[in-house]
Homo-oligomer: A and B are copies of this chain.
Amino acid sequence: MQPQPQKLVNKEDFHTFVDQFDTFLLDCDGVLWHGSELIDGVPETLDYLRKQGKRIIFVTNNSTKSRRAYTKKFEKMGISASPEEIFGSAFATAVYLSKVEKLEDGKRVFVIGQDGIKEEFADVGIPVAAVEDENKPMTDEDWAKITPDDKIGAVVIGFDTHINYRKYAQAHTYITRVPGCRFIATNTDSTFPAAGALFPGTGALVSVLQSSTGRDPTIIGKPHSTMMNCIFEKYQLDPQRTCMVGDRLNTDIQFGINGGTSTLLVLTGVTNEAHLHEQLPEVTPTYYTQSFGGIGLAAQQ
C-alpha cells in the first residue's frame, strides 16, 4: 500500500497538524496570494502561527528582488514580513557561494540577473565582475573582445529582462574557457508570471547556456535541495519539525520531500484535488488542505 496524503478539514485537524512543527516554509504565489490578490484568511493564519511561537520562512524562486525589496511586496499585500523571514533564490545563491560551496578567494562572479542578485551578493561580500555597456547591443567588433578572464570563478544566471547576446557570449566564454569556472542557476522555472500571463522564465533563459556549453548548471531554487541546504545552514532547522507549504507538486512539494521535511499541499493555486490524485504516488504530500487561509479562519471559530 502506497502512503496516502492526509486531508486536513477542520479545526482539530489543523491543531494536530500545527502542533507537530516549529517551522513553516511557505511558497508565496498560489499560497498567500494570486498575482495582486490576497487569499482569504492568510493574515489570520500567519498571526495564529506566530502567536503559537512558530517560525515562518517565505521561500520563493523569484531572483529579481533582494529580501529587503521583497518586504515592500509583502507590505503592499498587507502581510507583515521581515527580511529575515524571506528566503529568495537570489539570497540562497549568496548563502551558497559564501557558506556552502564557497567562491574561491580572489575570484569574482559574472552575473546575468537583476538587482536582487547583485544586492544580496553585495550584502555578503561576494565580488561581482563589472560589466561594461551591459545593455548595449552586440556589434561585429565585439566578437574579438569577448575573451576568457581567469578572475571569473562562477557564472550565476537568474531572471533578467535585460538579457542580451553579449551577456550570453561572455557567460559561454567563461564557462567553456576559464578552467574551474562554475555554472550556477538561481532556479529553473520555465515560465515567469506577469500581468496575468506567462512569459519565458529563468529556466528558459538558462537553456541557452546549457545548449551552447553542453554543461548543466548547479540549480539553487526549488525543488533542488541546494536551496533547502542553504535554509538549513542559515536557520539551523530540524527537518522533522519543519513543514513545506505550497501549491505545486513538482516544485514545492518535491522540494520538501527532497529536503526531508513534511509537506502540505494547498489547493488555492495550480493543483486541484483531481490533479493531486492523478500524480499519486509519484509526488505524495504528507498533508493537503483547501487553503492555507483556512487554518487561521478555523482557529477564530
Binding site for B on A (CB under 8 A): 135, 137-138, 143-144, 146, 160-165, 168-169, 172-173, 176-177, 190-191, 194-195, 197-201, 203-205, 207-212, 214
Contacts and interface: CB of A to CB of B under 8 A. Distances in A.
Q: Rank and list the top 4 A-B pairs by shortest CB-CB distance, nearest first.
A: A200-B212, A143-B195, A204-B212, A204-B211
B176 A162 contact: no
Number of copies: 2
Contact of A138 (B137, B162, B191): B162
Contacts of A212: 190-191, 198-201, 204
Contact of A161 (B137, B160, B210): B137
Given A200-B211, A201-B212, A165 B165 contact: no
Contacts of A164: 137, 162-164
Contacts of A205: 208
B211 A197 contact: no
Given A137-B161, A137-B162, A210-B207, A173 B144 contact: no
A146 B208 contact: no
Contacts of A204: 168, 207-209, 211-212
Given A160-B165, A162-B164, A172-B200, 14 more contacts: A143-B194, A144-B195, A163-B164, A168-B204, A190-B212, A198-B212, A201-B212, A203-B211, A204-B207, A205-B208, A207-B208, A207-B210, A207-B211, A208-B208
A199 B143 contact: yes
